[in-house]
C-alpha cells in the first residue's frame, strides 16, 4: 500500500509540475489566440462594420442564413450559407487542398526514398531540395507569376520550344488555368516539407529488416509495399494532416498571384475581402468562423482516429 501511495503522490506532483510549466504558454495562447477567436465568432452574430465595431448589434444567425418574406407567399434566403461566391470559394479551397496535398505526398515520398539511400553528395542534395521550402512564400509566388507571364514568361517559352503548346498561355489570367498555376507553385514549394517529414520516418525504420528481406529474396516493390510503407505510415499521416490544415487556410500564394479572381478565391480570401475591402466586417467574421470550424473538425477527427488506432493496437 505504501508503494501505491508513493506512486500516486509522484503522479500528482508530476501533473502539478506539468501545469506549472504549461501555464505561461497557455496564458499567452489565451491572449493572442483564444480571445481574438472569441471576438471573431461573436462578430459573426452581429451587424458590425469597421467604422461601427463598438456599436455592433446582436442579430443572431442573419449573417449565416436569413429568410426575407416579401409577402403573397414569396420570399428569399440570404446569408453565407446560400452565397454562391462563398460556396465557390469552398470548392476552390477543397480542390486546391486535395490536389496539392496528394501530389506533394507522392513527390515527397519519392524524394524521401531517394534521399534515404547512401550515395556520394547526399548531404548537398538534401540541402538543395530544401531551397524551395526556404524561399519566402511571397517571393516564390511573385517569381512564378513572372515565369508564367503570357508574354515574357520563361515557362511558355520552354513549352513552345518543346512544341507542347502552339501559343502562349495566360496561366494566371485565364479562369481555366489560374487554379492550376497556383497549385503548381504550392506543390513546388511545399514538396520539400513533405519529403523532410517522410524522411524522418524512413530513418526510424531498422536496417536489420531490409537485410533480412534481402536474404529472403523479397522483391524491392513488395518490400516497399509490405514493410516500408506500413512502418512509415504514421509519419506520412502526420505530414498529410499538417499540410491539409495548412492548405485549407491558404492565402498568400493566391493573393499574390491571382487577386480578386473567382476562379481561385479561397475561403481565407473570401473572409479577408468581406472584412476589409467591402467593409462587411460581420459577414467576413462569419466566414472566418466557418473556416475555423472546418479546420477544427478535421483536427479533432484526426486525433479521434489516431486514438482509436492506438487503442486497437494495444
**Of the ranges 3-12, 114-123, 280-289, which is most confident?**
280-289
In the predicted structure, residue 157 carries a pLDDT above the cut 60? yes
Structural contact between residues 141 and 256, judged by C-beta atoms closer than 8 angstroms: yes
Structural contact between residues 274 and 284, judged by C-beta atoms closer than 8 angstroms: yes
Phi then psi for residue 75, to 5 deg, are -165, 175
**Of the ranges 26-35, 49-58, 268-277, which is most confident?**
268-277
Rounded to the nearest angstrom, the gap between the alpha carbon of residue 277 and the centroid of all alpha carbons in its chain is 24
Half-sphere exposure of 247 (CA within 13 A, CB side): 32
CA–CA separation, 79 and 57 (whole Å): 17
Q: What is the mean pLDDT of residues 231-243?
A: 88
For domain 86-279, give the CATH number: 1.10.3720.10
CA–CA separation, 252 and 267 (whole Å): 12
Q: What is the mean pLDDT of residues 162-169?
A: 88
Which residue in 117, 143, 96 sits closest to 247, CA to CA?
Answer: 96
Q: Percent of the chain beyond pLDDT 90?
A: 41
Phi then psi for residue 156, to 5 deg, are -65, -40
Residue 266, helix vs strand vs coil: coil
210 φ/ψ sector (left φ>0, alpha ψ -120 to 50, else beta) = alpha
In the predicted structure, residue 311 carries a pLDDT above the cut 60? no
pLDDT at 46: 93
- Summary mean pLDDT of the chain: 87
In the predicted structure, residue 284 carries a pLDDT above the cut 90? yes
pLDDT in tens, 187-200: 999 999 999 999 98
Q: What is the mean pLDDT of residues 161-183?
A: 90
Structural contact between residues 287 and 265, judged by C-beta atoms closer than 8 angstroms: no
Which residue in 159, 107, 94, 99 sits closest to 133, CA to CA?
Answer: 107
CA–CA separation, 285 and 271 (whole Å): 7
Residue boundaries of the structural domains of the chain: 86-279
Q: Which residue has the higher pLDDT, 7 or 25?
A: 25
What is the pLDDT confidence band of residue 3, given thresholds at 50, 70 and 90? Answer: low
Structural contact between residues 264 and 179, judged by C-beta atoms closer than 8 angstroms: yes
pLDDT at 64: 94
pLDDT in tens, 200-213: 888 888 877 777 87
Phi then psi for residue 50, to 5 deg, are -60, -35
H/E stretch holding 76 reads strand 74-78
H/E stretch holding 78 reads strand 74-78
In the predicted structure, residue 13 carries a pLDDT above the cut 90? no
In the predicted structure, residue 216 carries a pLDDT above the cut 80? no
Q: Percent of the chain beyond pLDDT 70?
A: 95
In the predicted structure, residue 269 carries a pLDDT above the cut 90? yes
CA–CA separation, 250 and 257 (whole Å): 12
Q: What is the mean pLDDT of residues 230-257?
A: 90
Q: At what angle do helices 281-313 and 229-248 cross, to 10 degrees?
A: 170
In the predicted structure, residue 309 carries a pLDDT above the cut 70? no
In sequence order, the 6+-apart residues with CB closer than 8 A to the CB of 93 are 247, 248, 250, 266, 267, 268
pLDDT at 274: 92
Taking CA atoms, 184 is separated from 147, 171, 179, in Å, by 12, 11, 9
Amino acid at each position: 500500500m505504501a508503494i501505491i501511495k508513493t506512486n500516486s503522490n509522484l503522479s500528482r506532483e508530476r501533473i502539478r509540475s506539468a501545469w506549472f510549466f504549461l501555464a505561461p504558454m497557455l496564458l499567452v495562447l489565451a491572449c493572442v489566440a483564444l480571445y481574438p477567436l472569441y471576438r471573431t465568432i461573436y462578430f459573426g452574430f452581429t451587424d458590425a462594420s469597421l467604422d461601427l465595431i463598438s456599436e455592433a448589434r446582436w442579430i443572431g444567425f442573419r449573417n449565416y442564413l436569413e429568410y426575407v418574406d416579401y409577402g403573397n407567399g414569396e420570399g428569399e434566403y440570404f446569408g453565407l450559407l446560400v452565397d454562391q461566391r462563398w460556396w465557390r470559394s469552398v470548392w476552390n479551397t477543397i480542390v486546391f487542398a486535395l490536389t496539392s496535398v496528394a501530389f506533394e505526398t507522392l513527390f515527397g515520398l519519392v524524394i524521401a526514398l531517394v534521399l534515404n539511400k547512401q550515395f556520394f553528395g547526399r548531404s548537398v542534395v538534401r540541402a538543395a531540395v530544401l531551397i524551395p521550402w526556404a524561399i519566402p512564400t511571397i517571393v516564390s509566388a511573385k517569381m512564378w507569376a513572372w515565369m508564367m507571364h503570357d508574354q515574357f514568361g520563361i515557362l511558355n517559352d520552354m513549352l513552345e520550344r518543346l512544341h507542347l503548346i502552339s501559343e502562349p498561355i495566360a496561366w494566371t489570367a485565364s479562369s481555366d488555368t489560374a487554379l492550376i498555376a497556383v497549385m503548381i507553385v504550392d506543390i513546388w514549394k511545399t514538396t520539400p516539407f513533405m519529403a523532410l517529414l517522410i524522411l524522418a520516418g524512413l530513418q526510424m525504420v531498422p536496417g536489420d529488416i531490409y537485410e533480412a528481406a534481402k536474404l529472403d529474396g523479397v522483391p524491392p516493390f513488395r518490400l516497399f509495399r509490405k514493410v516500408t510503407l506500413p512502418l512509415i505510415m504514421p509519419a506520412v499521416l502526420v505530414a498529410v494532416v499538417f499540410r491539409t490544415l495548412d492548405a485549407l487556410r491558404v492565402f498568400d500564394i493566391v493573393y499574390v498571384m491571382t487577386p480578386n479572381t473567382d476562379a481561385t478565391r479561397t475561403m481565407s480570401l473570401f473572409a479577408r475581402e468581406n472584412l476589409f475591402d467591402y467593409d462587411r466586417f460581420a459577414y467576413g467574421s462569419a466566414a472566418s468562423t466557418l473556416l475555423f470550424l472546418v479546420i477544427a473538425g478535421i483536427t479533432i477527427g484526426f486525433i479521434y482516429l489516431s486514438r482509436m488506432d492506438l487503442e486497437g493496437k494495444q
